[in-house]
Structure 1
Amino acid sequence: MGRPDPSPSGDGGRPVQPPEHARAADPVVGRILDRRYRIGARIARGGMASVYEATDLRLDRTVAVKVMHPGLGDDDDFAQRFVREARAAARLNHPHVVGVFDQGDDDGTVFLAMEYVPGHTLRDVVRKEAPMTPTRALALLEPVVSALAAAHRAGLIHRDVKPENVLIADDGRVKVADFGLARAVSADTQHTATGGVLIGTVSYLAPELVVDGRADARADVYAVGVVLYELLTGRKPHDGESPIQVAYKHVHEDVPPPSEAVPDLPDYVDALVARATSRDRSQRPADAGVLLHQVHRVAQALREGLTDDEELTADLAPRPRVETEDTTPDPFDGFVVEDPDHERTTALEALPRPVEAPLAAATRSEQPRPARPRPAAARPAPSRATAITTVPRRRSRKGPLVFLLALLLVAGLGVGAWWFGYARYTTTPGVLGLDQAAATATLEKAGLEAATGDPAYSETVPAGMVLATDPEPGGNVLDGGTVELTLSLGPERYDVPALAGLTEDQAQDALREGHLAFGESVERWSEKVPAGQVMRSDPPAGQSLKPDAVVDLVVSKGRKPIEVKDFTGESLSRATAALERKKLVVKVVSEEFSDTVPEGDIISQTPSSGTLFRGDTVGVVVSKGPDLVEVPSTVAMGVEAATDKLEDLGFVVRVENSSNYIGVGFVFSSDPAAGELVPRGSTITLYQI
């Protein structure tokens, strides 16, 4: 969303934007919520929340973030209801509904991330264009009713329909905002006109919401009717000095026909407003889907240029509530309708419009008026020569004739009232549970036509069978009229999409688009799936679930690192066994002589520390032990010559006198003796004689 929320008073006022220094002091501005949403400038502030333009750092897009005021966010019960309603609202994947992307709680800050819709609101259009033509009004209203119809099919009631919550994007798209939020606030709250709190703008509240706070989809229908009245006339139907006075009028006064303020509106437009805003909710359309059908009929009549359509008007107009009283019967007694200013009214007000005016004219006075004295007719003066002949005066027959005509008129009007009010209608046959062909045949047998409306899901009615009708079974429908059939789609189920290989954000978006809810992510090591990608889902892909069912994700942490131990100085066999248990590969790079490392032990290792991954190689240099050289024979050789020979072989030479030393300078013996194998570099002792 991209426009201000309603003002706290809820009476349609634009919220006042805070001054720059106040915005600068807003503690939310500049924060990053849930390590994802960088909060920018505040768009608006309402009674329950503030809306900010924000950047989704993960997906690099602009969103609108609605942050609950701290007093509400600290209420655990409210927060839980808020989360449930946010999930429900996220199910509404509809082109005319502001999308809900995410919901979270960042250290007590409860927020919603929503679609950002730059533009203006329907309130701005009302200020600039109202009163407007009915064609223009219905064109603006049709997307709103379509969005509400989708919500009602999903079991959601908006409860706060008003021009401020209808956003109009710069490209002309119409979006309804704040689905589910009003319901979340009022879920456990008893609202009354006196002792409770009225959630929602009082100018658009249905009477039942004012009286006892309980409402169904018809409360949204009532609010739409009030918005239509405002578009047509440029003003609200009920005014008052206080919200309580306005609420009282909603309960006790009908919404006036818009033609009283704007003459020349077609009667069927008045009838549409009257039907939607009937104080008796049983007279209103059952939900926005039914209202959408009626809006389409009126829009079609307007496109055809019809200034009057008696059949459409009679079909849309609310049926009068009929009661009987134990009074002396008279031609116009016995029918009463509710009236906030009088105890009862005669049948004159209950009769359909085509006969109402003449009947009212014929019975305008309850008492007979005395006849006016008629002047005598002028007679010619008699001639003196002409005799005057008198004739006996005849009794006038006009009196009985007038009485007879009046009686016939009353009888004709009564028959007309009966025809227009009841005789033209037949009872809608019950076709619930039948397939389309059988239902159509039943309706045609009753002289009615069948039309197919939008299908709907049902947990109890099999797919393809009739789930509902408009009018409902037993309701009145014009002879030869049309009954709209709602066919069942069967239980609403959605297959878990294939999520493997997607990023966590992409998987969450796929679940949302698939009418499922994201539960939690569990991270697991994987040698094949890169870090951050989904390995699998629980339940698995392809399993059918109810809408908003929770799906958990198993997300890869990438390859599992393996800590490398240094095996230098240890045996090759032991090192190989330990490293292979960790799924590492041991490679003998070379074998070398070592005077310090025993044969078969590891002289060096690469790498000798750090981490590797499964299948990586550890290189080792293995000791062949010391380099052994055979001691040559030096007996009887001169000492100097023997020394040179041994040093050439890498030995260290030490000369000592033997016990038989006589000073001739020849080698008598050596230690180690000739023929022994000793490590290169060993010390050889020569004993001279």
Structure 2
Amino acid sequence: MAEQERRLADRYIVGALIGRGGMADVYQATDTKLGRTVALKILKADLASDPAFRLRFRQEAQAASRMADPTIVRVYDAGEDESLDASGHRVLQPFIVMEYVPGRTLRQVIADQGALSPERAVHIASKILTALEYSHRAGVVHRDIKPGNIMLGADDAVKVMDFGIARAVSDTSATVAQTTAILGTASYFSPEQAKGETVDARTDLYSTGVVLFEMLTGRAPFRGETAVAVAYQHVSEAPMRPSELNPGVSTALDMVVARALSKNRDDRYQSAAEFREELIAAGQGQAPAARPEPEAATMLFGATGTTTSNAEQALRQLTDASVQTKTQRRPPVVWIWAGAAVVAVILIAILVWVLSLSNTADNTTKQTLPDLASMSQQNAVDTLHGLNLVDSVFEENSDTVATGTVIRTDPESGSEVAPGSVVKLYVSLGAKTVAVPEVQNLSQADATAKLAEAGLEVGTINSQSSPSVAKDTVISSTPAAGAAVSPGSRIDLTVSDGTVQVSDVRGNKLDVATSMLEALGLNVVPRPDPTCPAQQDSIVNSQSVAPGSAPQGTEVQLGYCTGTTAPPSTDPSTPPAGG
């Protein structure tokens, strides 16, 4: 067993593999000095070979180790272990030692369960924001908030991991494509990350908005066949409202998600605390307050600076009298007009030449976009790829187009498009549906109002007797609560008429008959009858309410014999009567 044991830094005994990612493999390990279980993340060889990355990685891990909050997975240690590869060459393996958290990642939970309840999504997202508030105040931007970096322990205790590690990747990767290859999908990238711009705390808030959207709907807001297609949507396309995919999401939560996913950083929440406050309020049904103008003084990482374009600078210079140089007097007017005419002729000739070249180039490179409507999404994507075009998929409801089928494209079919152009595919989610609300135990009037609020109508009202549901109160609905139906559908209601069906209990023992009627909510009154001879077990011989329908709580009198008679003598010495 000792020969199979693997140690790092002569301290950590490497155990079972518990996770695998684009950047590293994660093992359960034992810290032999402190005698505790830890999670050991060992960097992959292609990253370990880059000295710049190793330095940045070590610096960021050390910065992350200074953060201590219940919502953050602690980083205990970081270092490099020297070993020999298969060829006998010396190699360095960077690693970090983290707090071991038993549980599952949010990614695994969503994959198994799909969309989470709004209440649970709000709880998890609020804890993520608590972790970000702490890290941002410490000057650490996560840069890679995604479900795979969120651990859920017992009772949905939230732990965010890999703080600062993404910066080491971002600062040593040349392109977005390389960064996504290491960190994973671009589904959670902010627009500024997709464009390769500088990031700040609001970048993490955008990614948290993406995670919140996915928890509420079971899928990311933007999807595409390639990272480029997804990045394009992050930069230029508005996401769907979560309620379009999950009718159980409130308008207030829709508004919170929309603000979190604003393309412009100044339009997003400016701090994790602000985001969390509005998220919790929306989870309680309160619409977000009016948005104030962002103030640079309140931003943890500063306001987005404004720059003056070269054209603006040139125009300002031309209109600034202090930089104008007057070297000679105005020439004669005739020469001005002559010069202007010559210049105009030259410009027209150049313009005609450029247009002819442009038309020639367009004719040789552009192609006609085929009609993709009525194709399946996969067939349409394959067709675009075959034409060297980039797909960008959007989903929307349609009453006429089957689910998974292309409704239309942008640009439209027949348009001339250049290779590499992005073509938007609008794919049908099927007819829009709404969830039937819960109306059981509501009065008929309240149930009608609740259905109308959901865009539904009341269908047939069926009356039914019930021993427990009060008169004019809804017993059930058809379809049942939670069923997905088309807007405007008619929902049938079964309503209590305030009666019960009285059974015929005659011939039963008194205690049995009493139990049967009391189970119907009736008021049972035993009525002894001394005029008839008593029977063993007190058999009921009459009931005051005939079998059939009767109002709830009706009094029912049960008659039974209690009279006495002289039993026949069995003594042979007793003479017969009259003897």
TM-score (norm 1): 0.39
Q: Relative CO higher for 1 or 2, CA cutoff 8 Å, sep ≥ 6?
A: 2
The structure whose residues are more often helix, as a share, is 2
TM-score (norm 2): 0.46
Higher alpha-carbon Rg: 1
